[in-house]
A and B are shown apart, each in its own frame.
Chain A
Amino acid sequence: MDFITNVFPWITNGPLITVQVMSGLSVAMLLFLVSVGMSLIFGVIRIVNLAHGSFYMVGAYLMVTIVEALPDRPWAFWVALLVAPLGVAVLGGIIEMGLLRLIYRRDPLMQLILTFGLILVIGTLVLLAWGPDNKSVSRPDALAGSVAIFGQPFPAYYLLVLGLAPLVAVALWLIFYRTRWGMLIRAATVDREMLGALGVNVAALYTQVFVFGSWLAGLGGALAAPTVAVALGMDGDVLTTAFVVVVIGGLGSFAGTFISALLVGLLQSFGILIFPAISIVLLFALMAVVLVVRPWGLLGRPEE
């Protein structure tokens, strides 16, 4: 026990651990919003959307622009939080109808390569539109400071994240399991040919799912914008992490994505305390182990 307290002096510090858990959960919730969209798109359309991180980045940049366009108005932040994800959803719709729709019958690897090409295109367009400098979004006045959790300071804004993301998760669950549209989505992940044969307009469903997934990525980006530097590299960073979350949870699995986002968020939060230098390696090592033992993820389905 002495050894443990010597190496990890924080282990007896209850308040610190609490705050660390809470910030880990905040990270997890943001990750969930991004990842569940990626997972949903894969589940239905069978495309690993590598441009998903770019959608997240566009969401954050739209947030910057909208908040800046409405100076000195306390409600600007909330309007932006509503509008920015919608903008990303429109972008997603254009991409699905203009490009992806043309290649659904091709080799899945071609689709992966196409979405990779989109990373480069969107990244350059963002650079041209917003310039190379980092941007920031100020937090709304009501959530600008920090609150004390057992005497430890904790950013008040994270409370919004901690509250909002589970609400979205519950709403998603209700949509998937309690509406006709959700039933169609779940049916499409199981057998989309049969769904088409039963008279469902699968092409329209694909567009809707892609738009919805893009909206979720945009929401994640918009909500994360005040907590990070809005910068050009954020597409790749979030893509790799979301990718890990989705793969660990199981591509196309809603509950798996949630559990895996929690795992990854907490692992990141505590990995920084325990192994500061290699916390990200831990992440990919976890993913590699999962892929080797259960290639289809914790709650996903086998490939064939």
Chain B
Amino acid sequence: MGSRRALVVLLLLVVSLAPLALPPFFLQLLTEIAIVGLFATAFNLLMGFGGMVSFGHAAYFALGAYAPALLVRDAGVPMLLALPAAPMVAAAGALVFGFFIVRLTHTYFAMLSLAFAQIVFTVIFKWKSLTGGDDGLLDVWPPAYLKSPIAYYYFTLAMVGLSLLALHAIVDSPFGYMLKAARENPRRARSIGINVRRHQLLAFGISGAFSGLAGGLFAFYNGSVFPDFAYFTKSFEPLVVALLGGVQSFLGPLAGAFAFKVLEWLISRQWPVYWPLFLGATVVAVVVLLPQGFVGLFGRRVWMRYPSRS
């Protein structure tokens, strides 16, 4: 525990002093890493701790991006007041969809979450009068005092840092332990009086809320939002990031986000066409070459039982 605390302190020192040494471009890269890291950590609350793999988290990222963008653009709300709409709208969406999704398990859970995300994508894509459809929403910039890369970097850092603290407290709380119990053995958890479905739904809502905040932060970083944010390829981003960094640990997805974004930058700078090829090949290689697969990550018993029934 001591070494882990030292690691966190070191990480905090590095990221807060980074602007002294790095040019704006790298600050933007770090900003993106922080946002993707938050998205993947929120996703991993479900996958790593709850044993629920969502294939539709892009929906909550997109809801969180569009909600404050619309408020700022069309209703003239200041950004700092509009941003809280990101987690709120995303959480509302996650709770409504999650109500149905947590009724299912495993493959069917993943598929229904994907179906809802496609609905969100299609609505955004088709509802041109509100969302601009394919053209997206442009000119979604933060106010002048946050517009410089360094200011927005610190702002993102603060928001992501606070969110990670909150998520860590949730994972470490009795609620977090009940979630893990429900993952390890749902039947036994039920028999000692845990309402498994309600805990899973709540986790889904929390995960959606923080995914939405990541979406909102990205909207103002990017200056525009597009329907792609809800497309199914976006849903795999937190999955790949969490997979790269390690699903079993709380900070794994953050490390994964760092690796993911740095690789993306290195490769797409040289050969932009090859980036998806590289990403896909990496995913395939991780899956094939990781001899333990998810077994060590999810808790042996549950996942040993699963393949044998099929």
Contacts and interface: CB of A to CB of B under 8 A. Distances in A.
B122 A105 contact: no
B306 A281 contact: no
Q: How large is the interface on B (under 10, 10 to 19, 20 to 34, 35 or more residues)?
A: 35 or more
B154 interface: no
Given A106-B307, A124-B273, A281 B119 contact: yes
A120 B277 contact: yes
Contact of B236 (A108, A116, A291): A116
Contacts of A292: 100, 103, 112
A48 B107 contact: yes
Contacts of A122: 280
A114 B111 contact: no
Contacts of A99: 284, 288
A113 B100 CA distance: 23
B287 A291 contact: no
Nearest to A125: B277
A113 B239 contact: yes
Contacts, number: 134
Given A106-B307, A108-B106, A117 B122 contact: no
Given A278-B126, A303-B105, A120 B280 contact: yes
Contact of B287 (A114, A277, A280, A296): A114
Contacts of A285: 119
Interface of A: 46, 48, 99, 102-103, 105-114, 116-125, 127-128, 236, 240, 243-244, 247, 277-278, 280-281, 284-285, 287-288, 291-292, 295-296, 303-304
Interface of B: 53, 55, 100, 103-108, 110-112, 114-116, 118-119, 122-123, 126-127, 231-233, 236, 239, 243, 273-274, 276-277, 279-284, 287-288, 293-295, 298, 303, 306-307, 309-310
Given A116-B236, A120-B277, A120-B283, 4 more contacts: A107-B294, A112-B107, A116-B283, A291-B108
Instruction: Please provide the 8 A-B residue pairs with the shortest distance between their CB atoms, ordered closest to farther.
Output: A120-B280, A117-B283, A124-B277, A121-B280, A117-B284, A106-B293, A120-B276, A117-B280
11 contacts: A106-B287, A107-B306, A108-B306, A114-B283, A117-B282, A117-B283, A121-B277, A123-B276, A236-B231, A240-B118, A291-B108
